[in-house]
Structure 1
């Protein structure tokens, strides 16, 4: 499975996952014209997108979902998150539903998409795992914590796309209002570098996994700091970057 991170950060988020049969998007948080342009830059035609899966209905994750109308792309989101999404033709709106409290699996052109609950200040936010029979990819974007259910859902992945949003000391020292600081640092906010590192300590097995650190704050983090925090945590487990796993900061 090929991964193209078309946008990452507070300005917008969009991930393309491609197999030999299809491409799906996880979030569409930049203008639809930008998504079209970035897809073409990586060799993907917009009319080849089989589905768009939304993690939650904040603007930096859904700004470009009207792209669906132009190319008649089904858009999947939880029932709660559809409360915050507009601009998608009704016949394209698909609900990610639960069965006895557990999200069901969806088969999109041979890509099996499974959802898991996350913790963010949205109606019903989720993350996703996507498998194509050979490769499992986990996408965990905005969440204030990683719990055992999330770890179980993501375990065994070959690729981890996970946010490393902030360094708490930088948030505290910054010029955001106290209410915004409290939101970022809460269990329904965003992951710190250390939280991300701790989760990856539980997930990485040293079998050549690829880590993408995403959604870094431009004000409250630095790419080198996020990468160093994760590398140090994994080194304590005996894993070295380039030998046991690969890491890229987006």
Structure 2
């Protein structure tokens, strides 16, 4: 089983079979970016929340990777200031899902299945994804990366999330300690939940390139951390937003650099 998981991880580390389009959410009234396959009907969609002070462009590689595997991925560029409203950002993530479902994308060649919606996010964007999921019964799966606390508390909102959850924690995170944030979200999760620890990752390891916020936040971009995030989020959303069962073995096994810390319920049945 471990060898099978390794082979599946290697497969998902590469771009998927779809060519990818990039669009501007501002055209429909919400600042941000959207990545889609070039065409497809009834596609799954994910709204992605950026980290504190971060632009969505710092996650372009991950968003493009998910789109290459058949997902429509929308990332609002709102609430980027130091005193951003978590409640409003959660609402913007919900609006991003509404846009994916209600607007025909890609010259009318792309549509989204309203029964295959997910949320994901990094840092405060992960916490806000939890807030949004707790209030939106449409959401079928949630993934967070180095999630931080929010107001209202994401750790409390987690108990109202009945859908599967995948939570990645960074072992060298000085902003969102494992036991303080991602661990509490996973332990309070109302549905199936898995917490994975990336021991060598830091808080900003999930982001790409350089940004002025590196001057005020500890950590830096890490290729290995981004690779693991691409593998795990792609496997998780393919499993829970599509009828694909192929990647379930990967979700059940430790990966090099990403070990399963705790499962409140069995994520893979």
TM-score, with normalisation over the residues of structure 1?
A: 0.41
Pair member with larger Rg: 1
- Larger strand fraction of residues: 1
Higher normalized contact order (CA 8 Å, seq sep 6+, divided by chain length): 2
- Larger helix fraction of residues: 2
TM-score, with normalisation over the residues of structure 2?
A: 0.39
